[in-house]
Structure 1
Amino acid sequence: MTSPFVQKLRHGACLTEEDALLLDQLARPVHVAQAHHDILMEGDPPHTLTLILEGWACRYKQLDDGRRQIIALFLPGDLCEPYGILPHFMDHSLGAITAIRYARIRPDEMRALARANARIEEALWWDMLLQSAMQHEQTVSFGRRLAAERLAHFICELRLRLALVGLADETGFELPLIQSQLADAMGLTAVHINRTLMELRAAGLIELQRKQLTIRDPEALRNLAVFDPVYFHLDQRKDCNG
């Protein structure tokens, strides 16, 4: 079975089965963390790259008064830091949203593999490009998108990210975030999130029940968000059959 890490990276380069095996060997052994458990705390010295294999995690900052901002969500197949380098200390915390399975990868091993294999290097650079592009879109959302547009864009982006690793289709996906976590991720209050969810539901765009988000009208949701997936750079990969 192809790992989500390999599934994702195959959208950035033409990886062979041998490449996939090399990447999977990096992601061993596998560790586990329970929901709401911090993997790394702000100020900790990180020694390895964290790769999410299963479940949802997040990068977050917490203010002294307890207010929290989720800076990034990490899904299966996501590296939580750039592939080749680590800071001397964490300037944010890394926490599990759900129960997760993850791997700890030494940066020198990742760099050595990338130097020795041009396809893997290309895929890892594409992954860094995608992470940067998503941060740009988040900045636009916080600065200019209205609440309904922001939430619609968030849903469209999550759906596409999960689809890249086979965890979503056009009709929806499992969404384990509670409303307070959505608020932390989107820079809104939980009350505002609740009101905005009701607005999208009343418009016939989505339904959210028992952590399952159903997209009732994908085209209308994309139009509301003005969602253009071009920033995923999915055209980076050359024709793998050529």
Structure 2
Amino acid sequence: MSNPWTMKMEMFTAFSAQERLRLDELTTRQVTYAPRDDIIADGAHSPDCHVVLSGMACRYKILRDGSRQIMAFLIPGDLCDAEIFVLKVMDHGVAAMTPTVAALVSGQAMKDMLRENSRLGEALWWGTMTDLGVLRERIIDHGRRKAKERIAHMLYEMLVRYRMVGLAADDTYDFPITQVDLADATGLTPVHANRTLQKLRAEGLIASNGKTIRVLDPAGLKKVAQFNGEYLHLDRVHELTEVGARASSLV
């Protein structure tokens, strides 16, 4: 199975061969975006929803003073804008952070899946709930977690999410973000964010080269992060697939 959207949604329930084929057919229209290109801009509308198939993107908001807040990182399998077919315009932007390929899924197809009584519709709702759970954790980051816990939590969460789509071999995953990107995502200054990352390296919890993160001590990083993965709702996946079992083992 190579469709990351299918792999992510099968964390909720197993699909039939016909259902997998339907998702494959829905992702045949694809667009490639360069780094920093908007996949969909704040205030824009699109008749299509966008699913990340490769690369990495982010949800962001630009404030009046020009500062940027990154609200979420999007990886293969993630829907960028599931809500666009019910909204007049987007209330935030989604941009590529690396060369990124996204599938264009028609809004009507999304409506059909969400309205029908099927495993696909249920899995889409599950995906929406996990996306909201990730957003709530970022709110907690900014409101209550200290810098070290904040970055550790984000890095550990990314490990779980990459495992969900089979893209974390040897506990290593793509994370080609800059010091400024990390600061914009964590609400820290670039210097503070970088120093915190260095502390995690010095403690032997992670290794990074500017393009990837390798989690050297998953249990140790989870402890520092005080990570509780219930918000990802992976309590069923161990019954379904080997990939799901590996993801849920971290939660």
**Which TM bucket (shorter chain)?**
over 0.9
Alignment partners' CA distance in 2, 1:68 and 1:110: 30
Residues of 2 paired with 1:94 and 1:84: CA distance?
A: 12
Which residue of structure 2 aligns with residue 8 of structure 1? 8
Deviation at residue 57 of structure 1 after TM alignment = 0.8
Q: Distance in 1 between matches of 2:115 and 2:202?
A: 52
TM-score, normalising length: structure 1: 0.93
Higher mean alpha-carbon deviation, 103-112 vs 82-91, is at 82-91
User: Is residue 49–residue 86 contact of structure 1 (8 Å, CA) maintained in 2?
Assistant: no
Tell me, yes or no, if the aligned pair for 2:159 and 2:171 is still in contact at 8 Å.
no
Residue identity over aligned pairs, in percent, reads: 37
Alignment RMSD (CA, Å): 1.9
2:202 aligns to what?
Answer: 202
Cα distance in 2 for partners of 1:25, 1:117 equals 20
Q: Which amino acid aligns with 1:44?
A: A
* Alignment partner, residue 159 of structure 2: 159
Q: Provide Cα deviations, 1:27-71, integer angstroms capped at 9, x if missing partner.
A: 121111111111222221232111111110111111222210011
Query: Counterpart in 2 of 1:193?
Result: 193
Q: Confirm or deny: 8 A CA contact 1:159 1:169 kept in the other structure.
A: no
Distance 1:42 1:114, change over 3 A: closer
Find the counterpart in structure 2 of residue 143 from structure 1: 143
Tell which deviates more after alignment, 116-125 or 52-61. 116-125
The residue aligned with 1:218 is 218
Q: Distance in 1 between matches of 2:108 and 2:221?
A: 43
Query: 8 Å contact 2:32–2:99 — kept in the other structure?
Result: yes
Output the CA distance in 1 between the equivalents of 2:206 and 2:9: 29
- In the alignment, which residue of structure 2 is the partner of 1:55? 55
Q: Superposition pairs for residues 37-48 of structure 1, below 5 Å?
A: 37-48=37-48
The code of the aligned residue for 1:148 comes to K
For this pair of structures, how many residues does the alignment match? 241
Shift of 1:10: 0.4
Structure 2 portions without partners, runs of 5+: 242-251
How far 1:240 sits from its partner (Å)?
5.2
Task: Tell me the CA shift for residue 126 of structure 1.
Answer: 0.8
Where 2:86 maps in the other structure, the secondary structure is coil
TM-score (norm 2): 0.90
